[in-house]
């Protein structure tokens, strides 16, 4: 089948619905948020339409820079952990029998049906002193005394990786299934071990997919605001937690909007940098 | 916006409506009461359910005024809705239960219709601080309910009950506390001022507030959890994972009655007493009915019913109620309470919020 360029307006018709959806549910709310971020906050009240920069000024401080830095770092670490775990996992999965694959995929999809709240509370129980996994280690004689593993950075990271892992697998899966098996076979024939073949043939062949997955998990992790509260200390709270505080508890919509706009801009900037670096790498 | 909220009329709502219509036909007294009606805003969820069940039907029977209860969202969203509706001359609810900070914010735009105490004879039963006044002395609101936040402990971990808020600062309690995460709902500045700085008046100046923040910073190493979600702390308190903290007195009492190893203590400096007011929107046309309602709610017997059924502390003087010692102790205490400095959360909210966030996050 040959793909023809659209000739008449009618040929664009299939685009109208998604375009309308995009405008109504993304462009309009986002534009509203940008507008509100310039409004004047009225302390002890709400806000009035205006054009002021004070909301952005308040954000430009060492304190918020640290919180932003931590949020970005956390999202990057989550993305890297997820991809490092999910890539070999998905690769092995695609080599299994179809039935086994279906069981695994259904199990992973069912994790997606859990809400962040349930994931958070489940991990906080697993990491607790009174009912957590350290009790098993004590029973096995590995540890002398049960102890709490939360609140800690490790707990936050575990929860977030757990939450993002199924997405990572689902994004990697199609690319790995389509990967030509003769590539690895050729590598094996030429004497590479399975591990070497994975790292020298599979990983480079999937370069673009891996970068795209990293970006997707990074953005997904950046929006997390519940798990850092449930599993971490205040220094592990992300910028999203502080945005929620301002929007819901302080009724300071302009400041919350300014922080959110800033977060989106920084994210877009980082994604653009990654894509550009990827292109340069390809050219070299 | 209003249409959006009202439109999805589920099967459940239709059934409930049908049931209400049937019961109305069965009870002619309530049908007649339709001539006079009042829309009352109450915090959605537990409060609204309890009021609908235990309070409003009796009021309708006694006064002939039908009550349409409206679930208020928490936070300040309801204040904003009332304010904007009043500007357009409408009142989504005639009388609303409002937090003290919302009362002050509403005062700044003259949102509350001044109440006439001569039409509320029972107002004389109230403890003075529960009469909310405009700066010029007009009455903006009348105390509806109050509740306490106290020092709670796990009895397995703490065999002896603590006696003072100073326990929060005790180095022996390192990494053992669960405290509320926001400056405006934990009221820990007031606790610090009352415990160490001679009273909440110490917060009158920014230097005084700074001193309280400095003192409060010493608590930080003891805090394991800064919670926004109540279930999170309650669970940890019961299991002993986080054996001490601040929590609601009545809820802790109920948990203890269920056999959980928890206790609520009124420290010698007093528990934190927070409260809500009944306030009338200036756009309401039901001024007479509103006064009848507020008068009814201020009766000692009704306040006692609220204590027994809803778990709130009476806003009227204790000796006027028929609460037994045990019933009173379940919701309140005779120890002079710590009253939050609501004015600060109106005039200095952003500054306080910023200092507080830097304190606990930094």
- Give exposure, B55-66, as e/b (b: 16+ Cβ within 10 Å): bbeebbeebbbb
Half-sphere exposure of residue A159: CA atoms within 13 angstroms, side-chain side: 33
pLDDT band at B28 (very low <50, low <70, confident <90, very high): very low
Q: Which of A43, A131, A234 sits opposite B226 (nearest CB)?
A: A234
pLDDT value for B309:
86
Domain spans of chain B? Answer: 33-146+274-331, 149-273+336-361
* Phi, psi (degrees; rounded to nearest 5) at B240: 85, 0
pLDDT band at B7 (very low <50, low <70, confident <90, very high): very low
pLDDT band at B30 (very low <50, low <70, confident <90, very high): very low
Q: Which of B80, B83, B232 sits opposite A230 (nearest CB)?
A: B232
Mutation choice for A interface testing from B76, B106, B154, B231 by most A CBs within 10 A: B76
Which neighbouring-strand residues pair with A22? none
Question: Quick check: A67 and B361 CB within 8 A?
Answer: yes
pLDDT band at B34 (very low <50, low <70, confident <90, very high): low
pLDDT value for B2:
40
In this predicted structure, the answer to whether residue B270 has a pLDDT above a threshold of 50 is yes
Judging contacts by C-beta atoms under 8 Å, the chain A residues touching residue B241 are: 128-130, 148
Within 135-164 of A, beta carbons closer than 8 Å to B belong to: 148, 151
Residue A195 lies in a domain: yes
Question: Quick check: B357 and A229 CB within 8 A?
Answer: no
Pairing of β A47-48 and β B66-72: unpaired
Classify domain B33-146+274-331 at the CATH superfamily level. Answer: Periplasmic binding protein-like II (3.40.190.10)
Within 69-88 of A, beta carbons closer than 8 Å to B belong to: none
Task: Give CA B216 to chain center in angstroms.
Answer: 24
* CATH code assigned at A214: 1.10.3720.10
In this predicted model, what pLDDT tens digit does every residue of A32-48 receive, in sequence order?
999 999 998 877 667 78
Residue A99: burial class (beta carbons within 10 Å; 0-12, 13-18, 19+): exposed
In this predicted structure, the answer to whether residue A223 has a pLDDT above a threshold of 60 is yes
Quote the number of domains for chain A. 1
pLDDT value for A282:
61
Residue A229 lies in a domain: yes
For residues A232 and A6, which has the higher predicted lDDT (pLDDT)?
Answer: A232
Contact A116, A227 (CB under 8 A): yes
> Does A54 touch chain B if contact means CB atoms closer than 8 Å?
no
- Nearest CA to B149 out of B270, B268, B328 is that of B270
Which neighbouring-strand residues pair with B265? B151
Residue B63 CA to residue B288 CA, distance in Å, equals 12
* Phi, psi (degrees; rounded to nearest 5) at B295: -60, -45
Residue A274 lies in a domain: yes
pLDDT value for B4:
41
Domain that holds residue A257: 62-105+153-283
pLDDT value for A131:
83
Task: Give CA B178 to chain center in angstroms.
Answer: 20
In this predicted structure, the answer to whether residue B312 has a pLDDT above a threshold of 70 is yes
CA distance A35 to chain B (A): 19
Nearest CA in chain B to A239: B361
The number of residues in chain B equals: 362
* Phi, psi (degrees; rounded to nearest 5) at B329: -65, -25
> Does A248 touch chain B if contact means CB atoms closer than 8 Å?
yes
Average pLDDT over residues B30-43: 74
* Phi, psi (degrees; rounded to nearest 5) at B73: -70, 150
- Nearest CA to A243 out of B357, B331, B232, B288 is that of B357
Average pLDDT over residues A150-166: 93
Question: Quick check: B225 and A151 CB within 8 A?
Answer: yes
Residue A44 CA to residue B350 CA, distance in Å, equals 9
In this predicted model, what pLDDT tens digit does every residue of A120-157 receive, in sequence order?
999 999 998 888 888 888 888 888 888 888 889 999 99
In this predicted model, what pLDDT tens digit does every residue of B158-188 receive, in sequence order?
999 999 999 999 999 999 999 999 888 899 9
For B72-100, the DSSP string reads EPSTTHHHHHHHHHHHTT--S-SEEEEEH
In this predicted structure, the answer to whether residue A234 has a pLDDT above a threshold of 70 is yes
CA distance A114 to chain B (A): 18
For residues B10 and A20, which has the higher predicted lDDT (pLDDT)?
Answer: A20
Judging contacts by C-beta atoms under 8 Å, the chain B residues touching residue A248 are: 75
Residue B293: burial class (beta carbons within 10 Å; 0-12, 13-18, 19+): buried
Residue A78 lies in a domain: yes
Average pLDDT, chain B: 87
In this predicted model, what pLDDT tens digit does every residue of A169-181 receive, in sequence order?
999 999 988 888 8
CA distance A198 to chain B (A): 43
Any idea which of B10-14, B193-197, B291-295 has the lowest mean pLDDT?
Answer: B10-14
In this predicted structure, the answer to whether residue A54 has a pLDDT above a threshold of 70 is yes
Residue A208: burial class (beta carbons within 10 Å; 0-12, 13-18, 19+): exposed
Residue A277 lies in a domain: yes
Judging contacts by C-beta atoms under 8 Å, the chain B residues touching residue A44 are: 104-105, 108, 346-347, 349
Which neighbouring-strand residues pair with A244? none
Average pLDDT over residues B24-46: 68
In this predicted structure, the answer to whether residue B298 has a pLDDT above a threshold of 60 is yes
pLDDT value for A52:
87
Question: Quick check: A44 and B105 CB within 8 A?
Answer: yes
Contacts of A272 (CB under 8 A, 6+ apart): none
Within 107-146 of B, beta carbons closer than 8 Å to A belong to: 108-109
Residue A230 lies in a domain: yes
Contacts of A95 (CB under 8 A, 6+ apart): none
Average pLDDT over residues A168-194: 88
> Does A45 touch chain B if contact means CB atoms closer than 8 Å?
yes
Q: Report DSSP state, residue B316.
A: B
ipTM greater than 0.95, yes or no?
A: no
Residue A115 lies in a domain: no
For residues B26 and A81, which has the higher predicted lDDT (pLDDT)?
Answer: A81
Q: Is B17 helix (H, G, I), strand (E, B) or coil?
A: helix
Question: Quick check: A44 and B347 CB within 8 A?
Answer: yes
pLDDT value for B44:
79
Residue B88 CA to residue B281 CA, distance in Å, equals 12
Nearest CA in chain B to A149: B241
pLDDT value for A44:
63
Is it true that B33-146+274-331 and B149-273+336-361 share their CATH fold?
yes
Cβ neighbours of A138 (radius 10 Å): 14
Judging contacts by C-beta atoms under 8 Å, the chain A residues touching residue B240 are: 130
Judging contacts by C-beta atoms under 8 Å, the chain A residues touching residue B83 are: 46
CA distance A255 to chain B (A): 10
Residue A211: burial class (beta carbons within 10 Å; 0-12, 13-18, 19+): middle
Cα distances (Å, whole numbers) of residue A163 to A5, A104, B273:
41, 16, 40
Residue A140 CA to residue A43 CA, distance in Å, equals 57
Residue B151 CA to residue B266 CA, distance in Å, equals 7
Residue B348 CA to residue B89 CA, distance in Å, equals 30
Nearest CA in chain A to B79: A45
- CATH number for B149-273+336-361: choose from 3.65.10.10, 1.20.1440.20, 3.90.870.10, 3.40.190.10: 3.40.190.10
Contact A151, A233 (CB under 8 A): yes
Contacts of B226 (CB under 8 A, 6+ apart): A234, B178, B179, B180, B181, B360
Mutation choice for A interface testing from B241, B342, B356 by most A CBs within 10 A: B241
Percent of chain B with pLDDT over 70: 90
pLDDT band at B75 (very low <50, low <70, confident <90, very high): low
Considering the entire predicted model, what is its pTM? Answer: 0.81
Residue A283 CA to residue A277 CA, distance in Å, equals 10
For residues A161 and B6, which has the higher predicted lDDT (pLDDT)?
Answer: A161
Residue B338 CA to residue B216 CA, distance in Å, equals 16
Residue A48 lies in a domain: no
pLDDT band at B1 (very low <50, low <70, confident <90, very high): very low
Contacts of B74 (CB under 8 A, 6+ apart): B43, B44
For chain A, the DSSP string reads -PPPPP-SGGGGHHHHHHHHHHIIIIIHHHHHHHHHTTSEE-TTS-EE-----HHHHHH-SHHHHHHHHHHHHHHHHHHHHHHHHHHHHHHHHHTS-HHHHHHHHHHHHHHHTS-HHHHHHHHHHHT-TTTSTHHHHHHTTS-SS-----SSHHHHHHHHHHHHHHHHHHHHHHHHHHS-HHHHHHHHHTT--HHHHIIIIIHHHTHHHHHHHHHHHHHHHHT--SHHHHHS-GGG--HHHHHHIIIIIS--HHHHHHHHHHHHHHHHHHHHHHHHHHHHHHH-
Mutation choice for B interface testing from A47, A244, A250 by most B CBs within 10 A: A250
């Amino acid at each position: 089948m040959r793909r023809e360029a659209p000739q008449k307006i009618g040929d664009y018709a299939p685009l109208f619905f998604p375009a309308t959806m995009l405008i109504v549910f993304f462009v309009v709310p986002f534009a509203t948020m940008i507008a509100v971020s310039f409004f004047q906050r009225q302390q002890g009240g709400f806000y009035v339409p205006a054009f002021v920069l004070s909301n952005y000024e308040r954000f430009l401080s060492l304190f918020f820079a640290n919180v932003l830095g931590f949020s970005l770092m956390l999202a990057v670490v989550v993305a890297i952990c997820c991809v490092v775990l999910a890539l070999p996992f998905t690769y092995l999965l695609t080599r299994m029998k179809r039935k086994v694959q279906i069981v695994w995929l259904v199990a992973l999809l069912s994790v997606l049906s859990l809400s962040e709240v349930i994931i958070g509370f489940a991990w906080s129980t697993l990491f607790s002193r009174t009912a957590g996994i350290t009790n098993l280690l004590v029973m096995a004689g590995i540890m002398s005394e049960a102890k709490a593993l939360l609140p800690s950075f490790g707990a936050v990271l575990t929860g977030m990786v757990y939450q993002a892992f199924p997405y990572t697998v689902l994004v990697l899966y199609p690319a790995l299934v389509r990967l030509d098996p003769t590539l690895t076979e050729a590598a094996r024939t030429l004497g590479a071990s399975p591990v070497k073949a994975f790292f020298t043939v599979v990983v480079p062949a999937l370069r673009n997919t891996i970068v795209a997955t990293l970006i997707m998990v990074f953005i997904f992790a950046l929006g997390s605001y519940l798990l850092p509260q449930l599993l971490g200390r205040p220094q592990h709270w992300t910028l999203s937690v502080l945005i929620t505080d301002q929007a819901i508890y302080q009724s300071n919509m302009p400041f919350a909007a300014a922080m959110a706009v800033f977060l989106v801009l920084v994210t877009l900037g980082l994604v653009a940098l990654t894509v550009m670096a990827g292109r340069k790498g390809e050219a070299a | 916006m209003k249409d959006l909220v009202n439109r999805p009329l589920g099967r459940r709502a239709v059934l409930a409506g049908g049931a209400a219509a049937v019961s109305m036909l069965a009870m002619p007294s309530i049908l007649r009461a339709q001539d006079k009606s009042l829309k009352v805003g109450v915090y959605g969820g537990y409060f609204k359910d309890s009021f609908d069940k235990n309070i409003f039907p009796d009021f309708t029977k006694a006064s002939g005024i039908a009550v349409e209860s409206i679930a208020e969202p928490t936070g300040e969203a309801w204040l904003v809705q009332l304010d904007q509706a009043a500007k357009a001359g409408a009142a989504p609810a005639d009388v609303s239960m409002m937090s003290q900070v919302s009362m002050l914010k509403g005062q700044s735009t003259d949102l509350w219709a001044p109440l006439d105490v001569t039409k509320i004879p029972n107002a004389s039963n109230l403890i003075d601080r529960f009469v909310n006044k405009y700066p010029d002395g007009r009455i903006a609101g009348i105390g509806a309910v109050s509740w306490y936040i106290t020092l709670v402990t796990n009895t397995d971990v703490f065999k002896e009950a603590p006696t003072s808020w100073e326990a929060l600062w005790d180095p022996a309690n390192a990494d053992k506390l669960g405290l509320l995460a926001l400056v405006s709902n934990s009221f820990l500045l007031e606790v610090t001022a009352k415990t160490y700085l001679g009273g909440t008046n110490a917060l009158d100046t920014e230097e005084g507030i700074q001193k309280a923040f400095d003192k409060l910073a010493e608590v930080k190493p003891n805090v394991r959890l800064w919670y926004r979600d109540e279930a999170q702390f309650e669970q940890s308190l019961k299991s002993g994972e986080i054996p001490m903290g601040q929590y609601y007195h009545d809820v802790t009492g109920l948990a203890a009655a269920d056999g959980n190893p928890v206790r609520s203590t009124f420290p010698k400096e007093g528990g934190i007493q927070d409260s809500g007011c009944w306030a009338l929107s200036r756009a309401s046309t039901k001024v007479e009915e509103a006064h009848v309602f507020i008068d009814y709610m201020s009766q000692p017997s009704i306040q006692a019913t609220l204590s027994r059924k809803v778990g709130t502390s009476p806003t009227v003087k204790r000796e006027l109620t028929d609460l037994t010692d045990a019933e009173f102790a379940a919701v309140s205490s005779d120890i002079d309470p710590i009253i939050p400095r609501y004015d600060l959360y109106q005039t200095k909210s952003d500054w306080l919020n910023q200092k507080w966030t830097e304190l606990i996050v930094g």
